[in-house]
């Protein structure tokens, strides 16, 4: 399950980068689960195995063993990415952060903090 989404300040404009925190460390089988219907590049030879998943609406990158990974997506794809995260991690209630100037549709708890 996803415990939180932390927006990362990457000063790059239209793309959004968010760190996804999980309630347990990432395993290779989770990487495989995440990459269903997407393209996976997996580099086991690094000191920590690195993965990159090119999903139709986001790119996920990280290393196995960590309890977090990074997703990057275009601001306009936020609703799609939100749905994808909820379906990939059932039981998740955390919402993707809303970037300044981006209309979330519904006011969320994150916005009011």
Partner 1 sequence: MIYLNNAATSYPRLPQVVEAVKRSLLAPPQEPGRCGFEDPLMACRSAIAKLYGVADPLRVLLTTSATLGCNQILFGLPLQAGSHVITSCMEHNSVLRPLNELAARNECSLSVLPLEDDGSLSIDRVGGALRPDTRLMAFVHVSNVTGAIFPVQALALLAAGRNVPLLIDDSQGAGLVPLDLASLPGKVFLVAAGHKALQGPPGTGFFIVPDAVSLSPWITGGTGVHSVEDRQPPMLPYRLEAGTPNSCGLAGLLAGVTHVLETTPAVLAEHRRTLAEHLVKHLPSPWTHIAPGATADYRAGVVSLVHPTMKPSEIGLMLQEIYGIETRWGLHCAPLAHRHLGTFPDGTLRIGLGEGNTIEEVEQLIEALHQSGNLT
- Residue 15 in tokens: 């793309």
Binding mask 64-93 for partner 1 (x = CB under 8 A): --x---x-x---------------------
Residue whose CB is less far from partner 1, 12 or 106: 12
4 near partner 1 (CB under 8 A): no
Least distance to partner 1 from the beta carbon of 80, Å? 21
Q: Select the span of 29-37, 40-48, 73-81, 103-111 touching partner 1 (CB under 8 A).
A: 40-48
Least distance to partner 1 from the beta carbon of 35, Å? 17
């Amino acid at each position: 399950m996803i415990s939180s989404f932390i927006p990362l300040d990457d000063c790059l404009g239209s793309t959004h980068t968010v760190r996804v925190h999980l309630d347990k460390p990432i395993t290779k089988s989770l990487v495989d689960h995440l990459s269903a219907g997407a393209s996976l590049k997996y580099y086991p030879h690094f000191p920590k195995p690195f993965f990159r998943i090119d999903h139709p609406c986001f790119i996920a990158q990280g290393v196995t063993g960590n309890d977090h990974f990074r997703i990057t997506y275009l601001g306009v794809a936020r609703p799609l990415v939100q749905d994808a995260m909820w379906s990939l991690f059932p039981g998740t209630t955390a919402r993707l952060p809303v970037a300044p100037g981006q209309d979330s549709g519904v006011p969320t708890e994150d916005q009011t903090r």
